[in-house]
Structure 1
Amino acid sequence: MIRRDFLKLSFATTALTAMTSMGRFASAAPDVAAGDAALRAEAARDAKAWRAARRFVATSAGRVAVVERGRGPQAALFLHGLPLNSFQWRGAVARLAPHRRCIAPDFLGLGHSEPAAGARLDPEGQVAMLVELLDKLGVDKVDVVASDSGGAVAQLFLVLHPERVRSLLLANCDTEIDCPPPAMLPVIELAKQGKFAQEWLAPWLADKAKARSAEGLGGICYARPAALADEVFETYLRPLVDNPQRLHGYITALERNALHGIKPALKASTAPVRVLWGMADDIFLPRGADYLEQAFGNSKGVRRIEGSKLFWPEERPELVAQEALALWRSA
C-alpha cells in the first residue's frame, strides 16, 4: 500500500472511532457533551481503581488511608484539600509515578482515614501524623505537592521538619495572611454547629446536577464542572456525609491561624519552592500568590494560571506534573 492510501485509511479509521465514541457517550448521557462524557467515564474508571488501591496504615493518631504508585529511592507526598481526599491527585500521580514513589494519604477527618479517639485534627496534628506515616513507610525525605488546606500543612511540615522536605510545590492554599480565608468563615461556623455536612454536602451528594451547578461544589471550585462524574462526588462526599463528626472536627480546627508568625521560618528554608495559582479562585484570593512569591528563602517563582479555580490541579494534572519535574530537577 502506498503512503497516500495508508494515510487515507488511517484518517478514516480515526474518524470512525471518534464518531463511534461520540455516539456511545451521547447515548449514555444525552445531555452531556461528548468531551465531558469521556472525562466522566475516565473518572469513573479511576475512582474504581483508586478504591481498589487504597490501604490503611496504623498510626498512633488512627488508621490512615493511603494510595501509593511508583517505586524508587525518592518519594513524593501529595496533600489534598477540603472536602477532597487523595483521589484529587490521581492524574498527577499517574504522570509522576515513573519518577517517584508517590504517596497520597487522606488527612485525618477527611476521606477514608479513621482518626483515633482524641486525635488532633488541626494542621500541627496532621503534620505529626504525616511524620509517623512516612516513618512507617520507610521514607526519610519527600518532595511535597499540596493545595488548599493541605498547603497549610505542607508549610508547617517544611518549617517543623525541614530535613524531611526536598522540595515544595504549592497550588492555591492558605497563607499567613489568609488562614483561614474569609470565604471559609461561614463553613467553620456551620461546622461548629454540627450542620455543615447535612446542609451543604448531603444535598450535593443526593443531587449530582446540583453539585455541578454554579452554586455547587463543581461550579464553585472547578472550571469545567460538567466533566465531573457522579463517582467523583461519591468518592469525595460520601465518607464525609457518613462521618460528619470527623469532618466537623477537621473544619473547626481550621479556625485558628496555624500559620501565624511563620514567615521568618519560611524565609530561612533552603528547600526550592514553586507556587502555581489559579487566578479564577474565589476562595483563596490572588493576594495569597503575591505573599508566597516573596515568602520563601529559595523561591522558584509563581506561575499564575488564568481561568483556573481552586481545584485546578485535578483538572490539569499535566501542568502539575510538568512543574513538579522541573522543580525536582532543581532540588
Structure 2
Amino acid sequence: MSSAVAADGTRIAYQLAGPDPGTRPALLLLAGQSNNHHWWDPVRADFEAGRRTITLDYRGTGDSDKPDVPYSTQTFAEDAVAVLDELGLDQVDVYGTSMGGRTAQWLAIRHPERVRRLVLGCTSPGKAHGYERSQEIRRALSQRDQEASATVLRELMYTPAWLAANPGPYPVLGDTTMPAYAKGRHLVASNNHEAWDELPAIQAPTLILHGTDDVFSPAANADLLAARIPDARAKLVQGARHAYFHEFRAEASPLVLSFLKS
C-alpha cells in the first residue's frame, strides 16, 4: 500500500493506475462523502488511455488513518496535496464528484498552480448559497430502518431502470469499513462546506457536470457554479441522477476526456 503523510501526521493511502503519462498531466479523482477510492472503480479505466490516474482514500476511509478529530473539505484538499507532493507532481487535472467536487473546489482555490483543468460533478458551493436536498430526503436517509435508508440512497443515485438491470453491488453507497464516528465526521465536513466567496479565485478552466434528475444535490447547482467560477461552463446529463458518471458513463466520460484534451 502506498501512502502520503498529511501535515498533521495522518497517513493518506493512495492508488495509481494507468501508464506513465509522459508529458500529459495525471488525473486526480476525488470521491464522494464517506467513500473510498472504489467509488471510481466502474469508470476509472475510461480515463487511462495514455494517462495515469490517482485516487486516494479520504481520512476516515479505506486504508487511510481514521483520527477522531474534526474533518473539513479544506482538510481533504490539503490531504490531496500531500499525495501530490509524495508523488512529486507539480500539476494535475482534477475531477471531483459530490463531496469530491467540494474538496476539488478548495484544491483549485488554495493551490491554483497545482490544478491545470478542473471538472466538478454533482456538487455545490455549499449550503449558504447552494441548492440543498429537501428535508423529506434528509428524513428518508436518516430513518432507523437501515435497509429502507439504503434503498432510498440507491434510488437517489440511479434510475429505476438501471437498478432493475444492474443488481449491484454499487461502489458509490459508502465505505462499509468506516467506523461510525468517521461517517459522522464526513457528514459534518460536507455539510459545513462553504466556498462561495472564494470560487471566483479559481484559475483553472472548469467543466461542471450534473444529472438533470439529481435531487440528492439538485441540478440547479451546476449553473450556479458556472456563473460563479471564471472560465467555467456547465453541461447537464439528461435523465441522470446523482451517480451520472457511472450509469451514464457512455456520455459523461467522453465529455470529461474531450474537455481535458482541449
TM-score band by shorter chain is: 0.7 to 0.9
Task: Give CA deviations for 1:99-153 in whole Å, capped at 9, x if unaligned.
Answer: 31100112223444323454x5201111111111111122221111111111111
Written as runs of structure 1 = structure 2, the 5 A alignment for 1:191-202 is: 199=144
CA distance in 2, matches of 1:121, 1:189: 23
* Deviating more after overlay: 172-181 vs 125-134: 172-181
**TM-score normalized with structure 2 length:** 0.84
Assess if the C-alpha contact under 8 Å between 1:142 and 1:167 holds in 2.
yes
Task: Give structure 2 stretches of 5+ with no counterpart.
Answer: none
What amino acid is aligned across from residue 322 of structure 1 in structure 2?
P
* Residues 1:247 and 2:247 are matched in the alignment: no
Counterpart Cα distance in 1 of 2:173 and 2:136: 24
Q: Distance in 2 between matches of 1:185 and 1:139?
A: 42
Q: Which residue in 2 is equivalent to 1:66?
A: 14
Task: State the one-letter code of the partner of 1:276.
Answer: L
Partners of 2:117 and 2:17 in 1: CA distance: 19
Q: 2: CA distance between counterparts of 1:164 and 1:94?
A: 23
Alignment partner, residue 53 of structure 2: 102
Separation (CA, whole Å) in 2 of partners of 1:98 and 1:255:
35
In 1, distance between residues paired with 2:32 and 2:115?
19
Q: Residue 208 of structure 2 contacts residue 226 of structure 2 at CA under 8 Å; is this kept in 1?
A: yes
**Do the aligned partners of residues 128 and 173 (structure 1) sit closer, same or farther apart at CA in structure 2, a change above 3 Å counting?**
same
- Residue 208 of structure 2 is aligned with which of 264, 268, 275? 275
SS in 1 for 2:252: helix
How far apart are 1:289 and its partner, in Å?
1.4
- 1:89: which partner in 2? 40
Q: Quick one: which of 122, 136, 149 aligns to 2:99?
A: 149
State the match for 1:11 in structure 2: none
Measure, in 2, the Cα distance between the counterparts of 1:101 and 1:184. Answer: 38
- From 98, 119, 123, the counterpart of 1:173: 123
Paired AA for residue 106 in structure 1:
D
1:71-122: CA deviations, max 9, x gaps?
A: 223210001112433222223320211231100112223444323454x520
Bigger Rg, structure 1 or 2: 1
- 1:125 is aligned to 75
The alpha carbon displacement at 1:303 in A equals 1.3
SS of residue matched to 1:276: strand
Q: Offset at 1:156? A: 0.9
Q: Deviations over 1:253-274 (max 9, x none)?
A: 23324314123313xx2x2111
Residue of 231, 246, 253 corresponding to 1:314: 246
Conserved? CA contact 1:79–1:154, under 8 Å: yes
C-alpha root-mean-square deviation of aligned residues, in Å?
3.0
Question: 1:250 is matched by which residue type in structure 2?
Answer: H
Query: Would you say 1:163 and 2:95 are equivalent positions?
Result: no
Question: Once the 2 structures are TM-superposed, how far is the Cα of residue 322 of structure 1 from its aligned partner?
Answer: 0.9
Residues 124 and 156 in structure 1, CA contact (< 8 A), matched pair in contact too: yes
CA contact (8 A) 1:144 1:165 kept: yes
Whether 1:259 aligns to 2:259 is: no
For structure 1, the 5+ residue unaligned runs are 1-54
Distance 1:128 1:185, change over 3 A: farther
Secondary structure of the equivalent of 2:174? helix
Q: Percent identity?
A: 24
Contact 1:92 1:318 in 2 (8 A): no
Change (3 A) 1:140 1:169: same
